[in-house]
Structures are given as structure tokens and as C-alpha cells.
Amino acid sequence: MLRSARKRAGMTQGQLAEISTVSIRAIRDLELDRTGNPRRQTVRLLADALRLNGARRAELEAAAGPTAMRSLHDDLPAPPALLSPPLAREEETSSLIGLLRSTGHRLVRVVGAPGVGKTTLVQNVVSELHRTRLVPVIFLERPEAVPGSPHGSARRLVSRVAEVVGCAGTVDEVAGHLAADDALLVVDDRDLDDRDHRDLRGLLRLCRNLRVLMESCDVAPGRAGEIAFTLFPLDVPEWDPRVCDAAAAVGSPVTRYMLSRCALLYPTEVSSPETVAAIAGVCWLLDGIPAALESAASWLLIYEPTELLRMAQASPARLVMSPSRTEVPLVVWMRDALASLPPVQLDALRRLVDARPWAVSDAVTLLAGSVTDAESAVHALRARGLVRRVPSSRGNAQRFVVLNLVRHLVHSEFGTSSPPCGVPVAWTGLRDVQPLTS
């Protein structure tokens, strides 16, 4: 029936493929009856391209088999199960799902520091999309590392996608297999090299209904057409060692979570004001970064909460490293981020590092520069994840502080107090810092 309809329309298989976006191979297989269960969207695209309507369209769809026709969703494996939802990320989950469902956003990069919760958020979002059947999800799990490969795996992106969808491992074959369907491809940027990025662009060009969700630690501006979804540390109540508002602390999801971890080991002490104050302080000193909090919780096996607080006050970076002394990508990333700052931005960070919560208008005074200089510096530091927002009342100016972990790294390089302006930077490979100019 498809072959007859194509000939009546005066089309070759190549012309039908070009108009319908269905691959020539798929059309050939359908006409030779090699495809037992054609996808619903494929048949509809072919019917649209052949301008079939009424009885002839219904006849073609009936010939495809109404009970056998299936969607791409039915052919794809489910994304990995999420053992627990991301902590206090309901708004980010909703926003990211909305962004992926909206038109025009076909390549979305989830960016942020290591340990801030990107992987958990992405898995939560794709699990929800799969569960509700909003869009078929092609989830590429991180491959095993290959020695000598700078991107962890020697396998090409297209080959990995082809394996999941069940076709030959070329851009054209994968595109032909996906062109008829809405689909979301989920991949980690750390597994891609330049060739993979070119192939990814090729797939997006050939598959008009394909969208890509990519996880990345690179907070630098992305390629043209990308949308960056920046994930920041969790909001934590401001903490003062002299005064602790227990009600505000317990009202924070982050503090409640850490108290629940503490209760497993110190059930009789967890409700005491001293324990609540200590846990609230640890959460604040670790900037609400989920991976840092998990590492801190592991120290509770050998230190009680008040001892943990003293450790965090002396060196928050120490708590980020688990007692097993495993690698700490968060601290490495922060050092690299500081080392890569242009001199003007690094000077701005040094001037802001010990300031109490400040708005952009305050930064103008603190940086002794123009409004434009202050806006540019704060925007760059915020985008890099080196400063965090402080919760403020609605209608008031947004305020920020430098991350406590960053403050500790700055002081560990410069000494116990902030250096005077113009002092050369101690990080390896950096030039002397030049102050902001007005």
C-alpha cells in the first residue's frame, strides 16, 4: 500500500524520505514488508508527506496494524532508577522539565560545580519524563573509563546512541531512525570530544524533533544555540556562631536532612539546641553543597556534631574530603576555577571575600569601580559558582556572599587576612592581580 501510494504521488523513495524525514532505509523496509511493527509517528509522517487523507489515510494506518503500531517510548529501556529524589530541588526539577518541553530549546546544558547535584537532578527529570510518557528518553549511561582516553571512553557518541535505539552506528542511520519521533537524548559532556560534538550537531540538524539534555561542569559560555541551566548550592539559613535561630534552622530542608543523618548515630542528642546549632553551622559553612554535606555526614561516625562544627570552622575543605581520603573533585574544581579567573575578576573576588551579604549596589562601593565594572564582576563570579545567593525578602535587592569553601581557599593562599590590593596572586601560573578601574 505504501509503494502504491508513493507511485501515485509520483515520488521516488529518496524524495519521500526527504519530505517526510523518514530514512530511505526505513521506507524500503516498509515497502518490502521487513518491518512488522511500524511506529505510529512514522506512518503519520509518511501519510502527511504523501498528502493522504480520508479513506486512503485510514486504509494505510489500518494496514500498518492499529494494535501493533507503537511509539519510540515502547522500544527504549527505562532510565536508571533514582533511589531517592534530589534534596530540596522541586523548583529546579519543574523548571527544567518546562524548559525541555518548551519549543525552541533543543540543547540544554545543566552546569555547575562538582557535587552540586547535577546528576541527581538530571536523573530525576528524565525519570519523570519517562514515567509520564511526555517524551521518549534515550539515556546514555557513563561508560567505563578506557586507559589513555581523555574523555573516559573510546566509543563514539553515535555508536552508543545506535546501540540504544537499535540501528547501524552512523549519523545518517541514527537520524533516520529518530527523525519521525520526539525524543530526548541525555548525555554527559565529560564523555564527548570534538568529533562527538560535531555528530551531535548533525543529529540535531537532521532530527527536527530531537532535544538534548547534557550535564557539564564547564560553566564557561557554551556553543551557539545552547541553553545553560545553572545549578547552584542549596539555600541554607544564614548562621552566626553567637546566635542560632533553632526554628529557622529546623525549617530548612537542608538542616532537617543533616539532622536526620545525625539522628542515626546520636538519637538522644539530635533535638538539643547545641546539636541543632552545630548542624546548622556545618550546613552554612559547607554552602549547602549536597556532596560536601554527604562527606560531612560520613565524619559523624567518629566525631559528634559540635566537634564537626569546630572542624568546619577551622577548615571546611577538610570536611569535604571523606575520612577514606577519596578524591575531592569539588575542591580541585574550585582551585582550578580560581586559577582560571582573569585578574580583574580575581581582584573583585578578593575584595568581596570577607564582606557580609552584599547586593550589586554594595559591590560598587566594595570594588571601588563603576556600576558597569561591578555588574560584570558579580555576574562572572555568580556564573562560575563562586558566590551564592542569600535568601532575602521579596522586593528587596538580591544579595550574595562568597562561598565559605572559596573563602577558605583564598585565605589559605594569602594567609589569615585578606591581602592588600595589588599583591601578586600565589596560585601557580597566575599573573599579578590588577585592581578594578573606575
Query: Which string of DSSP letters, residue by residue, matches 235-249?
Result: P----BTTB--HHHH
Answer for the pair 308, 281: CB distance below 8 angstroms, yes or no: no
pLDDT value of residue 425: 33
- How confident is the prediction for the chain on average, in pLDDT? 84
pLDDT value of residue 396: 87
Between 229 and 33, the more confident residue is 229
Between 424 and 47, the more confident residue is 47
Instruction: Examine the pLDDT at 432 and tell me if it is beyond 60.
Output: no
Between 434 and 409, the more confident residue is 409
pLDDT value of residue 326: 64
Instruction: Examine the pLDDT at 36 and tell me if it is beyond 70.
Output: no
Mean pLDDT of 145-155: 56
End-to-end CA distance of the chain, in Å? 75
CA distance 430 to 425: 7
Confidence of residue 150 (pLDDT cuts 50, 70, 90): low
Mean pLDDT of 320-329: 76
pLDDT value of residue 414: 55
Instruction: Examine the pLDDT at 106 and tell me if it is beyond 80.
Output: yes
Mean pLDDT of 184-190: 94
Mean pLDDT of 246-261: 88
pLDDT value of residue 311: 93
Instruction: Examine the pLDDT at 395 and tell me if it is beyond 90.
Output: no
pLDDT value of residue 149: 54
pLDDT value of residue 265: 94
pLDDT value of residue 221: 62
Residue at grid coordinates 519530505: 19
pLDDT value of residue 412: 82
Beta sheet of 358-359, edge-to-edge order: 358-359, 399-402, 387-390
CA distance 67 to 217: 45
Mean pLDDT of 63-77: 70
Instruction: Examine the pLDDT at 68 and tell me if it is beyond 70.
Output: no
Mean pLDDT of 5-32: 88
CA distance 55 to 41: 18
Q: Specify the range with the lowest mean pLDDT, choosing from 12-21, 186-195, 240-249, 408-417.
A: 408-417
Instruction: Examine the pLDDT at 434 and tell me if it is beyond 50.
Output: no
DSSP H helices, 50-117, are 54-64, 72-75, 90-101
Q: Is 117 left (phi over 0), alpha (psi -120 to 50) or beta?
A: left
Amino acid at 356: R
Between 234 and 238, the more confident residue is 234
Mean pLDDT of 413-434: 38
pLDDT value of residue 81: 82
Confidence of residue 64 (pLDDT cuts 50, 70, 90): confident
How many CA atoms lie less than 13 Å away from 156 in the CB half-sphere? Answer: 15
Amino acid at 248: A
Instruction: Examine the pLDDT at 354 and tell me if it is beyond 60.
Output: yes
Answer for the pair 257, 84: CB distance below 8 angstroms, yes or no: no
Confidence of residue 1 (pLDDT cuts 50, 70, 90): confident
CA distance 16 to 18: 5
Confidence of residue 154 (pLDDT cuts 50, 70, 90): low
Answer for the pair 373, 438: CB distance below 8 angstroms, yes or no: yes
pLDDT value of residue 220: 66
Q: What is the percentage of the chain residues whose pLDDT exceeds 90?
A: 46
- Taking the CA atoms of 232, 233, 238 and 241 in sequence, report the sign of the dihedral they define: negative
Mean pLDDT of 82-97: 87
Query: How far apart, in Å, are the Cα atoms of 341 and each of 169, 218, 232, 344, 386?
Result: 40, 14, 19, 8, 11
Instruction: Examine the pLDDT at 151 and tell me if it is beyond 70.
Output: no
Mean pLDDT of 152-175: 84
pLDDT value of residue 102: 79
